[in-house]
Amino acid sequence: QSVLTQPPSVSAAPGQKVTISCSGSTSNIENNHVSWYQRLPGAAPKLLIYDNHKRPSGIPDRFSGSKSGASATLGITGLQTGDEADYYCGTWDSSLSAVVFGGGTQLTVL
Amino acid sequence: EVQLVQSGVEVKKPGESLKISCKVSGYTFNSHWIGWVRQMPGKGLEWMGVIYPGDSDTRYNPSFQGQVTITADKSISTAYLQWSSLKASDTAMYYCARNQKMWIPGGNYYYYMDDWGNGTAVTVSS
């Protein structure tokens, strides 16, 4: 059971938009910043979003992040088949004194 | 270009010891936290802990404290994860990752992982 809660899967058609939610609590998301990671099949995770909404260089603006209270959301627009991957949210949990991740969301681009 | 190159696949027996490595290039090894993330088969990511090579300050996820040891050798820009006695439940993919430690208003801080190694698959089976 992960500390952060994500939907196990989401799906959408190519070109459409999808959002992935990440729900936490006052000990993690509400009082901290969130990062998001993409793990393509057979590859290492890759940072997509940090500081709730910032994108590292090289990450297209089709990817966006937001946070409100104890929840965060990853948005992906203009879906491509190459976006099919597992997506994870992460943040610091002050009660556990550790980085915690969501259980991951598998994105299918139909 | 930042690169984190991990050691290869390991197949071990329960009770054996193991040390896997992560060699870094493209940035100042001593000045950034580097840590390890576990992914068990079919499961999500788990942050194991980090080390600051500059002064060897090490922070463990309490879930992994005492189970593994994280070290770093500044002279060869390499981080290590080691076990003294492996269990079957240690079977997983292990990723090293550079961690950025960020302070936020209110005195809190958090880590995010901005560069990742290619992963080391560890299988523990009798």
- What is the pLDDT at residue B107? 79
Instruction: List Cβ neighbours of B75 (8 Å cut-off, separation of 6 or more).
Output: none
- What is the pLDDT at residue B109? 87
Token match 């079977």: residue? B91
Average pLDDT over residues A87-102: 96
Indicate yes or no: CB of A99 within 8 angstroms of CB of B100: no
Average pLDDT over residues B32-43: 96
- What is the pLDDT at residue B9? 98
Looking at the predicted structure, is the pLDDT value of residue B104 above 90?
no
Indicate yes or no: CB of A99 within 8 angstroms of CB of B61: yes
Looking at the predicted structure, is the pLDDT value of residue A12 above 90?
yes
- How close is the nearest chain B Cα to the Cα of A16, in Å? 26
Q: In the structure, what pLDDT confidence band is assigned to residue B108 with cuts at 50, 70 and 90?
A: confident
Q: What is the pLDDT of residues A44-68, one digit of tens each?
A: 999 999 999 999 999 999 999 999 9
What average pLDDT does the structure give for chain B? Answer: 96
Instruction: List Cβ neighbours of B66 (8 Å cut-off, separation of 6 or more).
Output: none
**Chain B within 8 Å of A59 (Cβ-Cβ)?**
no
Indicate yes or no: CB of B102 within 8 angstroms of CB of A51: yes
SS3 A82: helix
Q: In the structure, what pLDDT confidence band is assigned to residue B105 with cuts at 50, 70 and 90?
A: confident
- What is the pLDDT at residue B38? 98
Indicate yes or no: CB of A2 within 8 angstroms of CB of B44: yes
Tokens of B64: 């992994």
What average pLDDT does the structure give for chain A? Answer: 96
Nearest CA in chain B to A35: B112
Whether the Cβ atoms of residue B70 and residue B35 lie closer than 8 Å to each other: yes
List of chain A residues whose C-beta atoms are within 8 Å of the C-beta of residue B38:
none
List of chain B residues whose C-beta atoms are within 8 Å of the C-beta of residue A42:
none
